[in-house]
A and B are shown apart, each in its own frame.
Chain A
């Protein structure tokens, strides 16, 4: 019995340590935006709303958040739709060289996230007249995220029983109908996972949006966040902390929404 008690105590100590590890860094974000004269020090805030007023005065702040939402949503939708279709086909039909192809694409996707790829991507966008086009940016980012998305998505697809599809097929459903009616609902948690992953990736991406979108009215929050430095590169902590909070809120809301609605987890098959 005492072993049991010790076990419990150990468990809660562990949980406490882990919670602390994940919470302590977040304290600053919870306090600085509400402090009149924020520094890097975490202090009990005086709950001023002045910082928020200041950031709302910025002509681009709110618009950029909206742009971020557009870009992230657009990319997430494309990534999810295309990855789902591709992963489904790859999971169900054995195309020759499938695995090798996936691994190659996955490796190439790592090069494309690197800085060195900016020139090819930029010139490509120029040639395709995708400069200053949010759609173009969405397409480019989608291309970069797709391999990993397909890779993960295929795991989900592989784990759903085939009899659902066969059953629908016997009733005469077409492949697209099967995907819409049966497969998508079954792997919905997986789709949600990939969508959140894609959003998180796009949300934080600075370089590509900056290079490909000149029009400030189209730029996302990641770019606008960089403008809150001074001419000499000094952080305006007041604005940055506050904008950082506003910038984080949509992703957090989206996570909460998704986790409530779909259960945020890997491997979707609904338990039967």
Chain B
């Protein structure tokens, strides 16, 4: 019931600004004060060093040696070096596989599956399943890497024991697949929780009216569930993609090997910056990761927000 629209000047009437109109009466000033501590910490310990990293990416800075004493700006040399380095492209490709396989497909699908089958269940089964899934998420990586080495070990691995197989070495023969499955195991909890909450927001009546129309499970998902949880899918995809892009845990499992077959970008940066001491180059690669993340984020936003 829109009424006549007034010229905008009226809005700036002095009275209207005397105090704020949001629910809690915060007002911009106080809202600013609420945001301030977080923003201060973020600016100081996040934005500032992040910009510094971007700057380092333009230098030949190293941890040791002459370049450590007197680093020089080298412009985009590092970027040129990265973009012409097959190892970088290898890592980029592996990272895509890793993010796509373990996060975008693996965690999202498994997380959703778990949330879906547990959605209106209560009792011990739900608690046990959810507890185990979340356990995999909260255990420290250092511990978790041992667990998976023990699981996948070529000689004594639990998997070999279970399969009664000998010399089956997933980490060597299918290294990428191994770390993808590992990361699915590790990260499904977050998606499960997010989708669990999202599914709570799908009105049961919508599902039921699809069921009454005779819709199959898949049709219900497509026609009812997915349109409702689109926003959550976006948040979830964005966060887990970012996290997976920067996930360093595979290093603990495979050390990037064998022969660089699992040297995802985060590991690549680790090896370049920490083991090789080439901080300038490492920072440049980090910058490239940032740009890729940006593209991915924009892609998700386009994909999921545009249809609204």
A/B touching: CB–CB < 8 A: yes
Interface bits B219-247 vs A (CB < 8 Å: 1, else 0): 00000000000000001001100110110
In the bound complex, what is the Cα–Cα distance between A41 and B159 (angstroms)?
Answer: 10
Partner of B38, one of A14, A86, A165, A265: A86
If A103-B297, A120-B53, A244-B146 touch, whether A267 touches B197 (CB-CB below 8 Å) is: yes
Judged by a CB distance under 8 angstroms, whether A89 is at the interface is yes
Within 145-186 of B, Cβ neighbours of A (below 8 Å) are at 146-151, 153, 155-159, 161-162, 185
Judged by a CB distance under 8 angstroms, whether B213 is at the interface is no
- Contact status B269-A116, CB under 8 Å: yes
- Chain A residues within an 8 Å CB radius of B34: 85-86, 88-89, 175
- Contact status A115-B282, CB under 8 Å: yes
In the bound complex, what is the Cα–Cα distance between A103 and B197 (angstroms)?
Answer: 22
Q: How far is the CB of B60 from the nearest CB of chain A, in Å? A: 13
- Contact status A119-B150, CB under 8 Å: no
- Contact status A124-B49, CB under 8 Å: yes
If A120-B49, A248-B139 touch, whether A95 touches B150 (CB-CB below 8 Å) is: no
Partner of B149, one of A40, A93, A166: A40
Judged by a CB distance under 8 angstroms, whether B20 is at the interface is yes
Which residue of the partner chain B has the closest CB to A92?
B22
Number of A-B contacts (CB under 8 A): 296
- Contact status A179-B44, CB under 8 Å: no
Contact count band on B: 35 or more
Judged by a CB distance under 8 angstroms, whether B211 is at the interface is no
- Contact status A162-B23, CB under 8 Å: yes
- Contact status B25-A146, CB under 8 Å: no
Interface bits B109-136 vs A (CB < 8 Å: 1, else 0): 0000110010000000100110111111
Q: Is the interface of B mostly helix, strand, loop or mixed?
A: helix
Q: Is the interface of A mostly helix, strand, loop or mixed?
A: helix
Judged by a CB distance under 8 angstroms, whether A21 is at the interface is yes
Judged by a CB distance under 8 angstroms, whether A62 is at the interface is no
Judged by a CB distance under 8 angstroms, whether B103 is at the interface is no
Q: Of B9-17, B82-90, B286-294, which binds chain A?
A: B286-294
Q: How far is the CB of B248 from the nearest CB of chain A, in Å? A: 7
Residue picked from B27, B31, B57, B194, most chain A C-beta under 10 Å: B31
Partner of A247, one of B25, B140, B238, B273: B140
Q: How many residues does chain A have at the interface if contact means C-beta atoms less than 8 Å apart? A: 97
Interface bits A139-174 vs B (CB < 8 Å: 1, else 0): 110111011101110010000001001101100000
- Chain A residues within an 8 Å CB radius of B113: 18
In the bound complex, what is the Cα–Cα distance between A271 and B285 (angstroms)?
Answer: 47
- Chain A residues within an 8 Å CB radius of B269: 114-116
In the bound complex, what is the Cα–Cα distance between A89 and B32 (angstroms)?
Answer: 8
- Contact status B294-A146, CB under 8 Å: no
Judged by a CB distance under 8 angstroms, whether B104 is at the interface is no
- Contact status A105-B147, CB under 8 Å: no
- Chain A residues within an 8 Å CB radius of B303: none
In the bound complex, what is the Cα–Cα distance between A148 and B134 (angstroms)?
Answer: 19
Partner of A112, one of B27, B49, B143, B294: B49
In the bound complex, what is the Cα–Cα distance between A203 and B140 (angstroms)?
Answer: 6
- Chain B residues within an 8 Å CB radius of A14: 117
Partner of B156, one of A39, A155, A206: A39
Judged by a CB distance under 8 angstroms, whether A270 is at the interface is no
Partner of B235, one of A118, A139, A151: A151
Which residue of the partner chain B has the closest CB to A244?
B143
- Contact status B196-A265, CB under 8 Å: yes
Q: How far is the CB of A37 from the nearest CB of chain B, in Å? A: 13
- Contact status B290-A40, CB under 8 Å: no
In the bound complex, what is the Cα–Cα distance between A110 and B285 (angstroms)?
Answer: 13
- Contact status A42-B138, CB under 8 Å: no
In the bound complex, what is the Cα–Cα distance between A109 and B293 (angstroms)?
Answer: 11
Within 126-146 of A, Cβ neighbours of B (below 8 Å) are at 139-140, 142-144, 146
Partner of B50, one of A92, A93, A108, A247: A108
- Contact status A28-B140, CB under 8 Å: no
Within 30-54 of B, Cβ neighbours of A (below 8 Å) are at 30-32, 34-35, 37-39, 41-42, 44-50, 52-54
Q: How far is the CB of A196 from the nearest CB of chain B, in Å? A: 7
Q: Could you show 11 A-B contacts with beta carbons less than 8 Å apart?
A: A15-B129, A22-B185, A25-B147, A40-B157, A41-B155, A89-B34, A111-B289, A119-B279, A120-B53, A169-B24, A267-B198
What 4 A-B pairs are tightest by C-beta distance, nearest first? A143-B45, A266-B197, A41-B156, A120-B52
Given A26-B147, A82-B37, A108-B290, 8 more contacts at CB 8 Å? A25-B158, A89-B32, A89-B34, A93-B28, A93-B31, A165-B24, A168-B24, A267-B197
